[in-house]
Amino acid sequence: MAEVKEMTRKLEEIHKKIKAEIPWEPVGPTPMPEIPDLRNWDMRLLKTYAPFYAPFCDLCCFCTYGKCDLTETRRGACGIDIATQQARWVLLSCLMGCSAHAAHGGHILEFLIERYGPDKKIDLGGSINIEAPHIRTVVGLKPETLGDLVIAIEYVFKEITHLLDSTAMGQEGSYLDYESKALHAGMLDHVGMEVADIAQIVGFNYPTSVADTPLIDLGWAAVDKSKPVILFVGHNPATSTVVIDYLRENNLYDQVEVCGVCCTALETSRYSDRAKVVGPFSRQLFFIRSGIADVIMTDEQCIRTDMPIEASKAGSSLIATLDKAMYGLEDASEMDTEDIVRQMVEDKKHFAILDPRKAAEVAAKVAIVIAPQRRKEWLTEGEAKELATKCNVCGMCEQVCPNLFNIGAGIAEVAKGNFDLIREQFNLCVGCGKCEAECPRKIPIFKIMQIAASKESWKVRAGRGPIMDTEIRTVGAPITLGTIPGVVAIVGCSNFPDIRDIAEMVDEFAKRKYIVVVSGCSAMVAGMWKDADGKTVYEKYPPAFDMGGVVNVGSCVANSHITGAAIKIANIFAALPLRGNYEVMADYVLNRVGAVGVAWGAYSQKAASIATGCNRLGIPVILGPHSSKYRRLYLSRKEEDDWRVMDARKREIVDTGEPSPEHLAYVCETKEKAMVMIPKLCIRKNDTPQGRAIKLNHYISLHKKYMGGGLPEDIHLFVRRDPDIPLVYKKEVRAYLQEIGWKPKEPVGLPTLIGTYPSKVSVDAVIH
């Protein structure tokens, strides 16, 4: 009895927070879900997509009982085994990622509420009514003001605490439960990201409800180094936008060049289309060492931790603008502005300045004073050759290279006056700087690589934020029927095996009329390629969320709009209520929305949590080879696994035998393999025969293109009846099916997992 009362009080509390009395939709079964609330859904997913652990370290050193060796079947002093320890790491990674975005959101909210007050209305323009699909679905709240976003972010903060608690020594003992918690953290991450980006759009007047946002100059050569240059590094635009305001107000914007690396660059270009995007994280150290930036302003996430050292080496001034990374610098937030400027100019001191107005003024003043005194020239080929002559090809640089290639060979070629290899290698380089630090001959490898760094500039489309409801109405049917073959989201960080892979993937799938969505570093890199007519993918393809479109949603936190679009399809197109109704949304997406994420260069914990959040929502993610170091994938075994679904129309469980989607988190070693996995992971049980034939057409043709002819050997698993076979391959596929004794099966009318596992949700809930 006590239990029931307690639950009721708690529920009442939740209903109060989410303003349940406002009846925009009935409140579903899981508003503000806590750890156990979606556990059954997770367990159902994990049954088919079992965690696959690749321990990155055999030990545990989390507490003073350790180090504990967990090799093979050994257990730690607390009783934990190696699989559970991996799952604990995964959860920790997801929590780091989720916290980074949530804290970013929280900070932006505080900043904007200080400026506008909590009642500032959320208005995303005439084409977006479902402003916050994640907040509506997970939290159960329809946020109308900045103050409402605080309710959502506080819920995320609270859940993070509970999840983090579970990682302490002597807590959770099941890898499956840790995975369920990681999935919870991933889901929360999308809420946190949504809070952050909605706040930014509202507070900074970013473009919204529009597809053709401006084209932004991209690349090193886009930066006018003849002017004083201010470089923003990181993810949080609170300060960068204030810097632009300051320059505008003081008529200095024409005189000062403003540019950025990583997501702050994307954010700033949403605020002012004159801001330049230098490139992804992997170009950060290169650009800093080039000395082109007079003032570097760091905020948070994906900023190098040795920034004060690097800034000093390059003769640049550094201002740390956020408490997340203060580098041990003196906090000058309360100091007199002129005094800070003087110390920075005369004593070459770096400071932390947490007051954006002050930081902006200091940055502008320092940049204007020091720029004329600094030499900013690119290295010449002659100088590079000279610097390279000391290389004795010892191979030390290759041994420390995280992308496993021999930059020393490229340096040795430069010494001979041949720059071809190093130009090629620049595409593989992730910009970590480990090679140069290791070189016994102190060869300035980074400087030499300037030769290879293209002097070209490109274009990237400014991030546009949420997908419009009007677009969802247009594409909802073709996506769920399969006639738009899929939504391919090429997202995330820049630990690429080869930077050129991204534009190639975007081009391949846009050409094939998939909807291609990009974000973050991948959005920048997508633009770093031109076709024969000199066009980047942003100029070649329309910016619409429609077949053959290439859509840049924005920075990392804008990833929430991609998953948000999937929820909107269920809500707007299929008219399923979303409020507190996560399981129904996720089930719909898993079974009916042919979307796949590609995080080809994922390196950060944020990427881990974003991907895990996609997985809970039923969106599979393909990762590049480095991501095997995340320690965990979600893989099925197509021949053995359980592919039964409920046919909600007939109310019967059907064994489809169809592995769609085949995996939830998958690593490919090569671009070629990814090109074939992408179309395969867009297949859904809901496809109509016409849609399925289109999807299989791409799967087969990409398989032939990259795998040397022939049919994919699992093609029979995806052909339900003859009309599913694409016309062009009819003969070949029929012959193969006959050879292996394939039997036709009925497509499922309304596929759902609801009804195949214990859940509060009834099958009725998935019928629209």
If one counts every other C-beta atom within 10 angstroms of the C-beta of residue 636, the result is 20
Residue 66 lies near ligand SF4 (rule: CB under 6 A)? yes
Pick the closer one to ligand SF4 by CB: 357 or 434.
434
Give the span between the Cα atoms of 151 and 118, in whole angstroms.
11
Residue 493 lies near ligand SF4 (rule: CB under 6 A)? no
495 alpha-carbon distance from chain centroid: 12
Residue 71 lies near another protein (rule: CB under 8 A)? yes
Residue 626 lies near another protein (rule: CB under 8 A)? yes
Residue 83 lies near ligand SF4 (rule: CB under 6 A)? no
Question: C-beta of 473: minimal distance to another protein in Å?
Answer: 38
Pick the closer one to another protein by CB: 152 or 682.
682
Question: C-beta of 67: minimal distance to ligand SF4 in Å?
Answer: 6
Pick the closer one to another protein by CB: 503 or 702.
702
In the region spanning residues 34 to 63, those forming contacts with ligand SF4, defined by CB under 6 A, are 60-63
Whether the CA torsion 733, 737, 740, 745 is positive or negative: it is positive
Residue 443 lies near ligand SF4 (rule: CB under 6 A)? yes
Question: C-beta of 636: minimal distance to another protein in Å?
Answer: 9
Question: C-beta of 713: minimal distance to another protein in Å?
Answer: 6
Question: C-beta of 85: minimal distance to another protein in Å?
Answer: 10
683 alpha-carbon distance from chain centroid: 22
Residue 708 lies near another protein (rule: CB under 8 A)? yes
Pick the closer one to ligand SF4 by CB: 292 or 407.
407
Residue 635 lies near another protein (rule: CB under 8 A)? yes
Candidate residues 328, 709, 741, 758; the one interacting with another protein per rule CB under 8 A: 709
Pick the closer one to ligand SF4 by CB: 264 or 403.
403
Give the span between the Cα atoms of 581 and 274, in whole angstroms.
42
Give the span between the Cα atoms of 142 and 233, in whole angstroms.
33
Residue 66 lies near another protein (rule: CB under 8 A)? no
In the region spanning residues 662 to 681, those forming contacts with another protein, defined by CB under 8 A, are 666-670, 672-673, 677
| Tokens representing residue 649 in the block | 């129309």
| Tokens representing residue 639 in the block | 């021949």
Among candidate residues 615, 620, 705, the one with its CA nearest the CA of residue 38: 615
Give the span between the Cα atoms of 433 and 437, in whole angstroms.
7
Given the rule CB under 6 A, which of 131-139, 180-188, 260-268, 394-402 is the region that contacts ligand SF4?
A: 394-402
If one counts every other C-beta atom within 10 angstroms of the C-beta of residue 301, the result is 27
Residue 642 lies near another protein (rule: CB under 8 A)? no
Residue 77 lies near ligand SF4 (rule: CB under 6 A)? yes
Candidate residues 157, 327, 378, 706; the one interacting with another protein per rule CB under 8 A: 706
667 binds, among ligand SF4, another protein, none (CB under 5 to 8 A by kind): another protein
Ramachandran angles phi, psi of 657, nearest 5°: 65, 10
Give the span between the Cα atoms of 353 and 360, in whole angstroms.
9
Residue 385 lies near ligand SF4 (rule: CB under 6 A)? no
Pick the closer one to ligand SF4 by CB: 405 or 582.
405
Ramachandran angles phi, psi of 434, nearest 5°: -65, -35
Listed in sequence order, the DSSP H helices in 569-688 are 582-592, 605-616, 671-681
Contacts 24+ apart (CB under 8 A), 334-343: 337/361, 337/362, 337/365, 341/365, 341/366, 341/369
Question: C-beta of 432: minimal distance to ligand SF4 in Å?
Answer: 4
In the region spanning residues 160 to 199, those forming contacts with ligand SF4, defined by CB under 6 A, are 169
Give the span between the Cα atoms of 47 and 51, in whole angstroms.
9
Residue 411 lies near ligand SF4 (rule: CB under 6 A)? yes
Pick the closer one to ligand SF4 by CB: 50 or 169.
169
Check if the beta carbon of residue 411 is closer than 8 Å to that of residue 435: no
Report helix angle 605-616 to 175-204, nearest 10: 100
**Interacting residues of 650 by C-beta distance below 8 A, sequence separation 6+:** 749
| Tokens representing residue 116 in the block | 């506008």
Coil/strand/helix, residue 516: strand
Question: C-beta of 400: minimal distance to another protein in Å?
Answer: 5
Binding-residue pattern over the window 76 to 105 for another protein, x denoting contact by CB under 8 A: ------xx----------------------
Among candidate residues 8, 191, 187, 170, the one with its CA nearest the CA of residue 91: 187
Residue 392 lies near another protein (rule: CB under 8 A)? no
| Tokens representing residue 660 in the block | 């769609």
Residue 509 lies near another protein (rule: CB under 8 A)? no
Give Rg (Cα) of the chain: 26
Question: C-beta of 449: minimal distance to another protein in Å?
Answer: 20
Give the span between the Cα atoms of 274 and 248, in whole angstroms.
12
Give the span between the Cα atoms of 675 and 509, in whole angstroms.
9
Question: C-beta of 170: minimal distance to another protein in Å?
Answer: 22
Report helix angle 82-116 to 175-204, nearest 10: 20
In the region spanning residues 21 to 60, those forming contacts with another protein, defined by CB under 8 A, are 52-59
Give the span between the Cα atoms of 479 and 592, in whole angstroms.
8
Size of the site for another protein (CB under 8 A): 41
Among candidate residues 525, 389, 343, the one with its CA nearest the CA of residue 352: 343
435 binds, among ligand SF4, another protein, none (CB under 5 to 8 A by kind): ligand SF4
Q: Say which DSSP state 747 is in.
A: P
Candidate residues 625, 661, 679, 691; the one interacting with another protein per rule CB under 8 A: 625
Question: C-beta of 627: minimal distance to ligand SF4 in Å?
Answer: 16
Pick the closer one to another protein by CB: 565 or 611.
611
Residue 731 lies near ligand SF4 (rule: CB under 6 A)? no
Candidate residues 27, 68, 153, 553; the one interacting with ligand SF4 per rule CB under 6 A: 68
72: burial class by Cβ within 10 Å (0-12, 13-18, 19+)? Answer: exposed
Residue 129 lies near another protein (rule: CB under 8 A)? no
Among candidate residues 302, 290, 291, the one with its CA nearest the CA of residue 264: 302
Check if the beta carbon of residue 584 is closer than 8 Å to that of residue 570: yes
Question: C-beta of 415: minimal distance to ligand SF4 in Å?
Answer: 9
Report helix angle 469-481 to 689-707, nearest 10: 80
Given the rule CB under 6 A, which of 152-160, 220-228, 429-437, 504-512 is the region that contacts ligand SF4?
A: 429-437
Give the span between the Cα atoms of 279 and 297, in whole angstroms.
16
411 binds, among another protein, ligand SF4, none (CB under 5 to 8 A by kind): ligand SF4
Given the rule CB under 8 A, which of 103-111, 521-529, 563-571, 628-636 is the region that contacts another protein?
A: 628-636
**Interacting residues of 538 by C-beta distance below 8 A, sequence separation 6+:** 215, 459, 460, 461, 526, 527, 550, 552
Candidate residues 430, 472, 503, 683; the one interacting with ligand SF4 per rule CB under 6 A: 430
345 binds, among ligand SF4, another protein, none (CB under 5 to 8 A by kind): none
Residue 394 lies near ligand SF4 (rule: CB under 6 A)? yes
Ramachandran angles phi, psi of 596, nearest 5°: -140, 140
Residue 716 lies near another protein (rule: CB under 8 A)? no
Question: C-beta of 431: minimal distance to ligand SF4 in Å?
Answer: 5
Instruction: Kindly list the residues in this chain that would bind another protein in the complex (CB under 8 A).
Output: 52-59, 69, 71-73, 82-83, 399-402, 404, 497, 625-626, 628-629, 633, 635, 637, 666-670, 672-673, 677, 706-710, 713
Instruction: Kindly list the residues in this chain that would bind ligand SF4 in the complex (CB under 6 A).
Output: 60-63, 65-66, 68, 76-78, 80, 169, 391-397, 400-403, 407-408, 411, 429-435, 439, 441, 443, 445
